Amino acid sequence: MTKVEAPTLEEAYQKAADILKCSISELQCEVIQHPSKGILGFLKKSAIVVATAKRAVPSYKKEEVTIEQKVASEILTTLKEEHTKKDIVKEEISKTIVENDIVLDSFFDIDTLEEEEDIVEDLYEEETVIYNELALLIEEQLKELLSYSCFDIDIVEVDVRDNTALIFIDGEDAALLIGKEGYRYNALSYMLFNWLHSKYELFIKLEIAEFLTSQQEMIRNYIKPVVENVEKYGKGKTRSLDGILVQIALEQLREIFPNKYVAVKTGKEGKKFVVINEFNNKHA
């Protein structure tokens, strides 16, 4: 068993095959870390795999090796998906070892586990720092942008989480920044999304003086009869919605009906609405 790191998965597989002196088709691999380009050049990740050669195993050891491979697969999956929950990882490892009565001396010893945990913790802390720095950068640029407007805006806050910029704006002229029926809000949202998504690959959630919160509550009340109709007939749709309202309705309806097809459609006149049906289940 060997652990290999390379810029791409293909190179990692080839490197493992060279080390184990076998062909790639004879490898049995577990991907510990998928490669990533990162954000702004930071947090770039290489591909990391653990590989073994599929060679014949003596019959008296075959069952033991098969169990070890099964245990290794379960623990690697836990490390990858729940890497920040160290206590849970240790508990699962101990539980698996007791159930199978196997001591994994060579691969999952305590030094190896602690090394993996340290790497994960360092990456998490580095990612948090990068997100905080990016949030401050966007916040300063947005303050400068709004300083050139005629609106009295004194609060601009930005937080970046899970590839989404959470933007909060408030001030004496916040209502004017929203505009009649939210047309200025929609225009500003569209402008900010195009800027932040093209430059930093971020999505946005824009809140101006609790306008977004009020719109979410309004849509929540509006879709109640739509929800009842879907529960009764299995399908339904909203009326035509403008700007941010169609996105809010889409998010709320997808949350309510996770197992149905929920999507935005465009009518003949270019107006958008949300449909809910059993499209995904037709060929199930």
48-60, pLDDT tens digit by residue? 888 887 764 444 4
Structural domains of the chain ordered from first start = 1-55 (no CATH), 135-209 (3.30.300.20), 215-281 (3.30.1370.180)
What is the pLDDT at residue 67? Answer: 55
Q: Which long-range contacts (CB under 8 A, 24 or more apart) does 233-238 make?
A: 234/277, 234/278, 235/275, 235/276, 235/277, 235/278, 236/275, 236/276, 236/277, 237/265, 237/273, 237/274, 237/275, 237/276, 238/273, 238/274
CA-based nearest residue to 247, from 201, 195, 185, 174: 185
What is the pLDDT at residue 23? Answer: 80
Token pair for 104: 């994994």
Q: Count, in order, helices (H) and strands (E) of the chain.
A: 9, 9
Number of neighbouring beta carbons within 10 Å of residue 78? 17
- Give me the average pLDDT of each 10-residue run along the chain (284 residues): 82 84 80 73 75 60 50 56 54 53 46 55 62 88 86 87 88 81 81 89 84 83 90 89 81 90 85 83 44
237 and 226 Cβ atoms separated by less than 8 Å: yes
What is the pLDDT at residue 103? Answer: 43
What is the pLDDT at residue 274? Answer: 92
Contacts of 62 (CB under 8 A, 6+ apart): none
E-assigned strands of 10-128? 27-33, 47-53
**One-letter amino acid identity for 212?**
L
pLDDT in tens, 218-272: 888 988 999 998 998 888 889 888 777 888 888 889 999 998 899 988 887 788 8
CA distance 172 to 170: 7
